[in-house]
Structure 1
Amino acid sequence: MPNPLKRSLLIPALLSFLGAHQPPAVKPGQAESIPVTSAIADDPALAATIAPYAAKIKASFGQPLVKAPQGLFRGRRGEENLLGYWVADTMREAARQAIDAPVRFAITNSGGLRANLRPGQLKVEDIYELMPFENELVVVELTGAEVIQVVREGLLRRGGEPCSGVRVKVEGTPAKALLTITWADGSPIDPAEVVKVATTDYLYGGGDAIPTLRKGRKPFTTGLTLRQILLDRCAALGRAGRDLLPPAPGRYQVPAELQEALREKKLNLQEPGVRP
């Protein structure tokens, strides 16, 4: 029996390989919803066209990339999202290389990470399962005050979206919680400083309720998909004979009581402090 997961992974792979095509415009009232089921027969001509590309992509799915002895996990039970940290770190470094300039901050959305990376030998298919979308890496400019607000919005939305370049601490009580955000080295964030920020075209376009990202100025689309930069990073580690290890924890320091209040939308989060 065909593996439905492998079939679902083949769709973004084919789109990436062949290139997506814009469908013709449809006027209101002309569209019709047609359920896609096994009752719809494959088009022989289309199947013949896709077959060689599909075979090549399927063969590549089993290609080994790198060993991950500890694995990387999203932390869905209150643990820190170390997988998300790694993705954000990789985005930040890829953005730095793309623009040949320092990138101070990176953020992605935990909802876009669709699988953990289990301990063991990682293959190409594992990265496709993690990142099945065609999201692209984008670099924008934000002020320090806007970076702080982006982190705050991510906290209120999902308890903290995966970031790179900052440290976040929530203290106090659910009735009065203080948010403190610094750069990763502990130095204070200058609210007026303009910095380069790496994110995705999805988030920059307003996805996942982080509206301050839409204020990003001088947007630069790198042309790199998140999936490809993750594949490249894993392959580079594998060629160097190095393991993929999770980043150090501690970027988000939120006590369990306050985490629960965040999940239940009962946290009164005060305006962020910027003390080191």
Structure 2
Amino acid sequence: MKPQLASLLLATLAFPIPAAQPPGVRAEVIPVVDTIPDDPEIQKVIAPLAEEIKASFGQPLVQAPQGVFRGRRGEENPLGYWVSDVMRQAAQPLVGVPVRFAITNAGGLRANLRPGQVKVGDIFELMPFENELVVIELTGAEVIQVVKEGLLRRGGEPCSGVRVKVEGTPQQAVLTVTWEDGSPIDPAAVVKVATSDYLYGGGDSIPTLKKGRRPFTTGVTLRQMLLDQCGALGKAGKDLLPPALGRYTVPVPILEAIRDKTLKL
């Protein structure tokens, strides 16, 4: 069974579509607890599929000798960097032009990739949601504002394509955002940006992403994108390695001010 089909099956079983209620009949809330017995007929249907799902989750994809980890609060996020890099890489052939910037949300990354063999189930644990890859257009000024909003919300959401530096004091901080090669961002230039439908829809308080124009929904889930990337690396005999650090340079006093909601930026 393909991973995306397995995910759809699990979602359907977990959240069945309720039947329409006859007029005048009030719905009753029934708590879902361990004491509710399993329906034997449903179990007959689920059992073979569950075995197939379990087997697919154990499928090896790639070796990650160092692992790829989320940073603790205030630290850089190599796992998020990898996800955002893969988003940019996956988006470019789909739109046929360079994608200059990608952003994901650290809160959506639910597990680390620990050293050793990465399996299908590990990617499902990392990305348990059905969020899809979306490509939008933003101006350079809007890209900088997106970075700023992510910085103020969580000390910097994982990005690809830019370098971010904050200098000064918490009372008078200066934010500098450049492209990854150090070149300045033209505020008026229009660029392609890869993100998720969750963030584009307003999730995680990055409102400028909602201004994105000409949205292109790829139909590819972020999870499937990561599965494909790991599978391609494994088939090529390459290891999954964490990206280099240095995308965010933020002094500790400013990180503390972000945490305390006192930063003036």
- Give the TM-score normalised by structure 1: 0.87
Match of 2:114 in 1: 118
1:232 aligns with 2:228: yes
RMSD over aligned CA atoms reads 2.2
Change (3 A) 1:13 1:41: farther
Aligned pairs, how many?
258
Indicate conservation of the 8 Å contact 1:234/1:244, yes or no.
yes
Indicate conservation of the 8 Å contact 1:12/1:132, yes or no.
no
1:105 aligns with 2:97: no
**Residue 81 of structure 1, CA deviation:** 0.3
**Residue 264 of structure 1, CA deviation:** 1.4
Change (3 A) 1:112 1:31: farther
Match of 1:143 in 2: 139
Choose the corresponding residue for 1:87, options 77, 83, 88.
83
Choose the corresponding residue for 1:198, options 194, 199, 202.
194
Tell me how far apart the structure 2 counterparts of residues 106 and 25 of structure 1 sit (CA, whole Å): 41
Indicate conservation of the 8 Å contact 1:104/1:195, yes or no.
yes
Comparing 143-152 with 35-44, greater Cα deviation is found at 35-44
Match of 2:8 in 1: 16
Choose the corresponding residue for 2:171, options 175, 179, 188.
175
Question: Which aligned pairs between 1:1-276 and structure 2 lie closer than 5 A?
Answer: 14-16=6-8, 23=17, 32-269=28-265
Change (3 A) 1:73 1:19: closer
Change (3 A) 1:107 1:44: same
**Residue 93 of structure 1, CA deviation:** 0.6
Please give the per-residue CA displacement for 1:158-198, whole angstroms capped at 9, x wherever unaligned. 11000001110000001110000011111111111111111
Tell me how far apart the structure 1 counterparts of residues 186 and 26 of structure 2 sit (CA, whole Å): 53
Instruction: Name the aligned partner's letter for residue 16 of structure 1.
Output: L
Tell me how far apart the structure 2 counterparts of residues 15 and 39 of structure 1 sit (CA, whole Å): 26
- Give the TM-score normalised by structure 2: 0.91
Tell me how far apart the structure 1 counterparts of residues 200 and 137 of structure 2 sit (CA, whole Å): 11
Please give the per-residue CA displacement for 1:240-270, whole angstroms capped at 9, x wherever unaligned. 111111111000000112111111112111x
The answer for unaligned runs of 5 or more in structure 1 is 1-10, 270-276
Tell me how far apart the structure 2 counterparts of residues 255 and 31 of structure 1 sit (CA, whole Å): 55
The answer for unaligned runs of 5 or more in structure 2 is none
**Residue 23 of structure 1, CA deviation:** 3.5
**Residue 80 of structure 1, CA deviation:** 0.6
Match of 1:273 in 2: none
Instruction: Name the aligned partner's letter for residue 126 of structure 1.
Output: D
Tell me how far apart the structure 1 counterparts of residues 95 and 126 of structure 2 sit (CA, whole Å): 26
Counting aligned pairs with the same residue, the percent is 72
